[in-house]
Amino acid sequence: MSDVRAVFTASYNELDAEAARLFRRLGLHPGAEAGVPACAVLVGMTVPKTRRLLERLARVHLVTVVSRDRYRLHDLLRLYAAERAEEDETPEEREQALRRVLLWYLHSVDNGHHVVLPAFHRVPLPEADLPVVPMEFEGVDQAMDWFETERENLVAAVRVAGENGADDLAWRLPAVMYGFFEMRGYWSQWRDLNRLGVEAAERIGDEHGLACNRLGLGDANWLLKRTDEAFECYRIAAEDASRCGDRWVEGFALRQTAVLLHDRGRYEQASGVAEQALAVFERGREWAGRGHGPADVGRLPARTRGTAAGRQQLRAGIGAVRGRRRQVESRVGALCTGASPG
């Protein structure tokens, strides 16, 4: 390893100041592979200038070209770059560079998520004065393609944010990637990210972060058919959301609780919880929540609750939610087999 480090050091010492700074900042990037815009954010330069510097690093074999405008560091080079950042930059410089790139990913994925699911819950994001504008997307396919390309970086970003004191970003990242992971079927990975999001929110005492991530954790467990865990996540998410005033999260946590109660044959209790969900949606003026079908089960007349007619009406509303899971599972199956999702 000492001989390899000597070769790396010789190449590094031959770089000009700007190229050297870019190389060591790449050691701070959450993942081993990065696009030019993310690299530009790390060094605070324009995309064209950063591209020229990356081409220079590629010529001396300090980075590898993966595809157009995308580069990778070999594992040993990445470790060496991180060592140089530790030695040649102040803690403040490293912290600022890392936070910039995490914010860039956060705002980019939020933009994409809003294109894919425009009616979905919006999470307030920290303001970001960035040297490169976050990604914007013209359509769903473009947003989904970008997510697929950056997925491992986004997963790593959640972990790195939590490990480096950026818990306000560590809980928000999973909360704005919800639909991407659900629609592509990465449910186990989604569950793991929401667990990290819960831990980050707990560290800083953020009830909104807890509510958002526990709802996502509940949905991931539901799709994985881990219903006992899902039930508990929904229960706590509803409580957290009630305390912080997020009626969207509270309403959907209650809605999903009603679904699980119905599946367990607890029809009257399911109807009561669905009524609570409907009331929460109406109180928060969350009309999208009201229109998702399961909340409508709260309108069961009192005389029909617990009767065969009441159970039939309840099943009709609950069926809309089950249909959502079947649609997601069908879409994922189609993606895995290469067929058209339809």
Residue 72: strand pairing partners: 33, 64
- Assess if residue 324 is contained within a domain: no
- Residue 219: pLDDT above 60? yes
- Assess if residue 204 is contained within a domain: no
CATH number of the domain within which 54 lies:
1.10.10.10
- Assess if residue 83 is contained within a domain: yes
pLDDT value of residue 285: 72
- The values of phi and psi at residue 61, to 5°, are 65, 30
- Of 247, 250, 241, 277, the closest CA to residue 261 belongs to 277
In our burial notation (b when 16+ CB lie closer than 10 A, e otherwise), range 180-219 reads: bbbbbbbbebbbbbbbbbbebbeeeebbbbbbbbbbbbbb
CA torsion, ordered 220, 146, 101, 38, to nearest 10 deg: 160
- Assess if residue 48 is contained within a domain: yes
- Assess if residue 228 is contained within a domain: no
Mean pLDDT of the chain: 86
* Dihedral over Cα of 32, 35, 36, 39: its sign: negative
- Assess if residue 154 is contained within a domain: no
Cβ atoms of 152 and 66 closer than 8 Å: no
- Percent of the chain past pLDDT 90, that is, above it, reads 70
Distinct helix (H) and strand (E) counts, the chain = 17, 3
> What is the Cα–Cα distance from 329 to 342, expressed in whole angstroms?
12
pTM above 0.75, yes or no: yes
Domain boundaries, position 68: 1-89
- Of 188, 200, 273, 270, the closest CA to residue 224 belongs to 188
Average pLDDT over residues 97-110: 98
pLDDT value of residue 287: 56
Average pLDDT over residues 33-56: 97
SS3 content of the chain, % helix, strand, coil (to 5): 75, 5, 25
pLDDT value of residue 317: 52
pLDDT value of residue 124: 95
DSSP letter, residue 64:
E
> pLDDT tens, 224-253?
999 999 999 999 999 999 999 999 999 999
- Assess if residue 217 is contained within a domain: no
> pLDDT tens, 262-313?
989 898 888 899 889 988 988 877 655 444 444 344 443 333 334 444 444 4
Average pLDDT over residues 155-180: 96
- Of 299, 263, 304, the closest CA to residue 281 belongs to 299
pLDDT value of residue 3: 78
Confidence of residue 178 (pLDDT cuts 50, 70, 90): confident
- Of 210, 226, 285, the closest CA to residue 251 belongs to 285
- Percent of the chain past pLDDT 70, that is, above it, reads 83
- Residue 46: pLDDT above 90? yes
Sheet with 70-72, strands from edge to edge, namely 33-35, 70-72, 64-67
Cβ atoms of 191 and 220 closer than 8 Å: yes
> What is the Cα–Cα distance from 198 to 69, expressed in whole angstroms?
34
- Assess if residue 190 is contained within a domain: no
Cβ atoms of 43 and 89 closer than 8 Å: no
pLDDT value of residue 297: 43
Total number of domains constituting the chain: 1
pLDDT value of residue 321: 47
Strands 33-35 and 64-67: unpaired
Q: What is the DSSP string of 121-188?
A: PPPP------SSPPP--SSHHHHHHHHHHHHHHHHHHHHHHHHTT-HHHHTHHHHTSHHHHHHHT-HH
> Residue 158, CB half-sphere, CA atoms under 13 Å: how many?
27
- Residue 119: pLDDT above 90? no
Q: Is 15 left (phi over 0), alpha (psi -120 to 50) or beta?
A: beta
Q: Using alpha carbons, list the distances in angstroms from residue 222 to 187, 257, 288, 294.
A: 9, 10, 21, 15
